[in-house]
C-alpha cells in the first residue's frame, strides 16, 4: 500500500502542483489555435459556440479604416468564478489600457487593433465565464466610426482550474467491474450459442462498431479473468464469424468489409444499404485481437484482406470516400474519410507482426491527412448515426482531432512538427469540447458532470468516449514531452468517469449528463464507448504502476 501511494504521488499531480499548473493553463489560453489570419488554414470556427482559448474571427476589413475597436459584452449574469493564474491566484485583471465598461447594465471590455481578424488575447484573461457578444467597429484616422466589420456571440467557457475530483476507486478495479457488466449482458451472452446478434440490444445494428468492439471486449475479459476465458473466447469467435459471414465477397470493390449497418433498426433510413469506410477498421482490429490470443491464422488473414481492400480504395492522392454504397462501393458524397483508424491499423501490423506490404498505403494516407485534413483543419465528424454530408466546419468533433494527435505522438520518433501539430489538435479538442465546469440552471442544478467532453457540434452532449479520446491524446502528449499540465488534465477527465460509474452494476455512463428521472430510461449504452473508458482506466492504472 505504501508503494502504491508513493507511485501515485510520484506520477500524478498533487495539490501543491496546481497553483503553477493553473497559471500555465491560463497563460496557454492566451494563444489562439491555428487562427485563419496565419494563412496555414482557413478560419475553422464559423460554427463554434464556445471557447477556452482566445479566439479570432473572420471579420471583413472596412475600406478606409485606420483601426478597429473590439467590444466584448457579457450577456446576462456574471459568473463569480475566478480565472486563476497570476502569482496570488486571484482573478486576473485587464492589462494596461484595456477598458472594462458598464453599458446598459452589461459589462463590456474593449481594445483597439489594426485588423478586424485580431484575436481576443488582449482582454481574454479578464473575461468571466458567461455568454459574450463581440462587436468590431471600424474607425478612420479622425476617430470617426465608419462601419462594422462583424459581430457574433459565443460562450466564454471555464478554464482548467485543478485539482478536480480524485478517483473514488482504483482504476483497474473500475475497469474490471465495467468489463464484467458488458460480459454479463444477456445480449452478449447470447453469442455463446449463436453466430447471430441478439437485436434486443439495438446498437448491434451498427455491426462493425458494436460487434467489433464486443469481440475486443471479450478478448480483454479472457485476459483479465481466467475463469471466464472459455466463454469469452466462444463469444468473441462467434461474433467474429458473424462479421466474416456478412462481409462483402472476394472480388467486389468492398471485398471482406463487414457492414456498418445491419438489420432494419438503423436509426435513419437514409443509411440503408450504405457503409462508412473507416468502420471496417473496428472489425480488422477485433480479428487481430482474436489472433493475438488464439494464433488462428484465419483471423490475421481476414484483417489483412480488409487492409488490402483499403489499399485499392485509395485514389492517386490517397483519398478514400467517407461513405459508400455497401454493394458497389460507389461514393455517395465527395467527402474524404479522415484516415487515422486505417493508419493506426497498418502501424499495428507493422510493429506487432513485421508485415510491411502496406507501407505504401500508409504513406499515401499520411500524406493525405497532412496535406488535406491538417491544412484545412477540418476535423469533421465521422459518426455512422449522423450525417457526414455537411458544410465545411459545420460538424467538428474531438474524436477525429484527438485520435490524429495520438497517432502523430505515437510515432517511434515524433518530429517537432508532429508534436506541434498534435498540440494544436489537443488544444482544439479542449477548446471546443471540454467543459471543466458548467454554470447551474436557474433552479441551481448543473446539467452535466464536470469535467466532461462533448462529442461533436451536432450531438452537443458529454460522452464518456469523448473524455477518453481527449484524455488519451493528453497522456500521449505528456509521455512525449513531460508536460505535467497535460497529465493533470487527462487525470481529471478520467477520474470523473469513475465518479459517474454505477458502482452497483459496474455499468459506465455513455452520456454523463443529468436527466430528470422520467428521462433516464432513454439513456443509451454503447459497448464501444464503455470499452474506451475501460481501456483508459487500465492505461492510467499501468502508468501509476511503473
CATH code at 196-337+339-378: 1.50.10.20
Compute the average pLDDT of residues 307-315: 97
Q: Which of 12-21, 53-62, 80-89, 309-318 has the lowest mean pLDDT?
A: 80-89
Compute the average pLDDT of residues 156-183: 97
pLDDT exceeding 70 applies to what percent of the chain?
Answer: 92
**Quick check: 239 pLDDT over 70?**
yes
Structure confidence at residue 425 (pLDDT) = 98
Compute the average pLDDT of residues 464-474: 98
Domain assignments of the chain as residue spans, ordered by start: 1-30+166-184+385-546, 53-156, 196-337+339-378
CA–CA distances in Å: residue 112 to residues 139, 499, 541: 10, 45, 49
Tens digits of residue pLDDT in 317-374 = 999 999 999 999 999 999 999 999 999 999 999 999 999 999 999 999 999 999 999 9
**Quick check: 103 pLDDT over 80?**
no
Compute the average pLDDT of residues 225-252: 98
- The chain-wide mean pLDDT, for the chain, equals 91
In the block, which residue shows the cell 485534413?
Answer: 373
Of 142, 126, 119, 106, give the one whose Cα is nearest residue 70.
119
**Quick check: 91 pLDDT over 90?**
no
Residues 6 or more apart from 146 whose CB is under 8 A from it? 62, 64, 65, 138, 139, 140
- Give the whole-angstrom CA distance, residue 432 versus residue 292: 37
Work out the pLDDT band at 516, boundaries 50, 70, 90.
confident
Cell for 429? Answer: 479538442
- Give the whole-angstrom CA distance, residue 276 versus residue 267: 15
Is 351 or 103 the better-scoring residue by pLDDT?
351
3-state secondary structure of 523: coil
Specify which of 3-17, 45-59, 381-395 reaches the highest per-range mean pLDDT: 45-59
3-state secondary structure of 75: strand
Structure confidence at residue 517 (pLDDT) = 78
Structure confidence at residue 307 (pLDDT) = 98
Structure confidence at residue 100 (pLDDT) = 57
Cell for 47? Answer: 460554427
Work out the pLDDT band at 96, boundaries 50, 70, 90.
very low
- Give the whole-angstrom CA distance, residue 219 versus residue 179: 11
Instruction: Count CA atoms closer than 13 A to 362's CA, side-chain side.
Output: 15
**Quick check: 95 pLDDT over 50?**
no
Structure confidence at residue 9 (pLDDT) = 47
- Give the whole-angstrom CA distance, residue 255 versus residue 309: 6
- Give the whole-angstrom CA distance, residue 498 versus residue 172: 11
What are the start-end ranges of the H helices in 12-83? 18-28
Structure confidence at residue 106 (pLDDT) = 75
CA–CA distances in Å: residue 48 to residues 266, 327, 331, 400: 29, 37, 29, 16
Structure confidence at residue 515 (pLDDT) = 81
Structure confidence at residue 82 (pLDDT) = 36
Q: How many CB atoms lie under 10 A from the CB of residue 518? A: 7
CA 406, 373, 427, 132: dihedral to nearest 10 degrees? -150
24 and 32 in contact (C-beta within 8 Å)?
no
361 and 310 in contact (C-beta within 8 Å)?
yes
CA–CA distances in Å: residue 367 to residues 44, 144, 167, 249: 21, 50, 40, 30
311 and 254 in contact (C-beta within 8 Å)?
no
Cell for 330? Answer: 460507389
262 and 202 in contact (C-beta within 8 Å)?
no
Amino acid at each position: 500500500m505504501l508503494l502504491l501511494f508513493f507511485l501515485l504521488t510520484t506520477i500524478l499531480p498533487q495539490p501543491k502542483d496546481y497553483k503553477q499548473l493553473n497559471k500555465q493553463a491560463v497563460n496557454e489560453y492566451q494563444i489562439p489555435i491555428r487562427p485563419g489570419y496565419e494563412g496555414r488554414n482557413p478560419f475553422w470556427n464559423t460554427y463554434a459556440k464556445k471557447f477556452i482559448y482566445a479566439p479570432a474571427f473572420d471579420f471583413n476589413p472596412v475600406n478606409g479604416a485606420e483601426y478597429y475597436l473590439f467590444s466584448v459584452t457579457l450577456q446576462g449574469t456574471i459568473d463569480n468564478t475566478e480565472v486563476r493564474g497570476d502569482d496570488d491566484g486571484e482573478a486576473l485583471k485587464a492589462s494596461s489600457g484595456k477598458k472594462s465598461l458598464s453599458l446598459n447594465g452589461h459589462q463590456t471590455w474593449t481594445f483597439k487593433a489594426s485588423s478586424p481578424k485580431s484575436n481576443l488575447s488582449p482582454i481574454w484573461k479578464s473575461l468571466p465565464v458567461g455568454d459574450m457578444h463581440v462587436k468590431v467597429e471600424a474607425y478612420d484616422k479622425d476617430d470617426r466610426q465608419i462601419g462594422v466589420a462583424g459581430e457574433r456571440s459565443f460562450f466564454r467557457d471555464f478554464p482548467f482550474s485543478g485539482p478536480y475530483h480524485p478517483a473514488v476507486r482504483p482504476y483497474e478495479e473500475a475497469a474490471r467491474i465495467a468489463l464484467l457488466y458488458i460480459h454479463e449482458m444477456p445480449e452478449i451472452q447470447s453469442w455463446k450459442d449463436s453466430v447471430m446478434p441478439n437485436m434486443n440490444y439495438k446498437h448491434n445494428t451498427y455491426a462493425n462498431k458494436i460487434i467489433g468492439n464486443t469481440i475486443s471486449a471479450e478478448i480483454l475479459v479472457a485476459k483479465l479473468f481466467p475463469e471466464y476465458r472459455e466463454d469469452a473466447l466462444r463469444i468473441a469467435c462467434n461474433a467474429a464469424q458473424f462479421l466474416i459471414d456478412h462481409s462483402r465477397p472476394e472480388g467486389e470493390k468492398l471485398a471482406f468489409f463487414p457492414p456498418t449497418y445491419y438489420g432494419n433498426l438503423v436509426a435513419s433510413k437514409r443509411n440503408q444499404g450504405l457503409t462508412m469506410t473507416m468502420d471496417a477498421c473496428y472489425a480488422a482490429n477485433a480479428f487481430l485481437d482474436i489472433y493475438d490470443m488464439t494464433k488462428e491464422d484465419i483471423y490475421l488473414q481476414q484483417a489483412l484482406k480488409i487492409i488490402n481492400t483499403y489499399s485499392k480504395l485509395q485514389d492517386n492522392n490517397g483519398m478514400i470516400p467517407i461513405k459508400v454504397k455497401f454493394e458497389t462501393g460507389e461514393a455517395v458524397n465527395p467527402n474524404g474519410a479522415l484516415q487515422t483508424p486505417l493508419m493506426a491499423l497498418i502501424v499495428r501490423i507493422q510493429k506487432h507482426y513485421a508485415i510491411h506490404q502496406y507501407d505504401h498505403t500508409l504513406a499515401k494516407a499520411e500524406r493525405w491527412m497532412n496535406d488535406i485534413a491538417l491544412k484545412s483543419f477540418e476535423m469533421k465528424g465521422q459518426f455512422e448515426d449522423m450525417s457526414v454530408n455537411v458544410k465545411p466546419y459545420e460538424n467538428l468533433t474531438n474524436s477525429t482531432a484527438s485520435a490524429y494527435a495520438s497517432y502523430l505522438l505515437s510515432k517511434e520518433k515524433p518530429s517537432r512538427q508532429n508534436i506541434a501539430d498534435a498540440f494544436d489538435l489537443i488544444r482544439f479538442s479542449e477548446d471546443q469540447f471540454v467543459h471543466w465546469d458548467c454554470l447551474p440552471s436557474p433552479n441551481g442544478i448543473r446539467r452535466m458532470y464536470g469535467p466532461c467532453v462533448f462529442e461533436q457540434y451536432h450531438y452537443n452532449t458529454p460522452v464518456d468516449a469523448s473524455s477518453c479520446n481527449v484524455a488519451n491524446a493528453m497522456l500521449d502528449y505528456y509521455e512525449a514531452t513531460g508536460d505535467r499540465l497535460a497529465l493533470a488534465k487527462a487525470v481529471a477527465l478520467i477520474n470523473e468517469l469513475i465518479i459517474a460509474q454505477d458502482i452497483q452494476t459496474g455499468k459506465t455512463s455513455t452520456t454523463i449528463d443529468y436527466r430528470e428521472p422520467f428521462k433516464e430510461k432513454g439513456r443509451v449504452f454503447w459497448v464501444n464507448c464503455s470499452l474506451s473508458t475501460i481501456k483508459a482506466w487500465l492505461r492510467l492504472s499501468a502508468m501509476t504502476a511503473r
